[in-house]
A and B are shown apart, each in its own frame.
Chain A
Amino acid sequence: MKVINRFILVDDEEANNFYHQIVIGGLFPEANVMSFTDGKSALDYLKNEHSDYNQENPGFKSAILLDINMPEMNGWEFLDEYEGLDREQRADYVIALVTSSQNPKDVEKAKSYNLVKEYVIKPLTEENLKDLIESLKK
């Protein structure tokens, strides 16, 4: 399996992005982490810049960690637009960040999305990040 060396964080809480960046940095010190506090700017990045990155880094993969519960554009609305992107504009994996206690239905819905490879119950920790990478290898 190719190594994931780019993580794209989409979460409206800046504190979460900051924290997740530290967790990811602990496990993948080499990885490049980008963070966005709303779906729109993440989509803009993917549309305009991400394909260049893919071409420049052929040996690597990228993953989006997508918060579901966001104002303006929530995770599902993000995915609806993401679906329309070209293959090279997309990341290799989309991982949904869900808060099971707030809305148990989100877990079910995350599972039902073809685009969503895995889901992680918040908060992301080194432990569940490891598990996540393991299950992506399968």
Chain B
Amino acid sequence: MMPLFFLHMRDGSELTPDSEGSCLPDLAAARRYALECARQMMSEAVYHGNRIGLARTFEIEDDAGKLLLTFLFRDAIDFSEAAA
């Protein structure tokens, strides 16, 4: 059985709790999933001209509610200006 990871989204003082969780192999996979989710949500915001919310985070918790990792949305974007 794969463990359950919960991705609660924090946006300033507002928290959107994850009530279902996702079954993923390990924390590295949960981080990759958070990365993909953040990219997808920010892409949509950019496309529609809405606030990107770079300071948002996913608080990744285990089944027991223990905080394992805080993923910053900003870390899902490559900000470099020109090819090295």
| Bound together | no
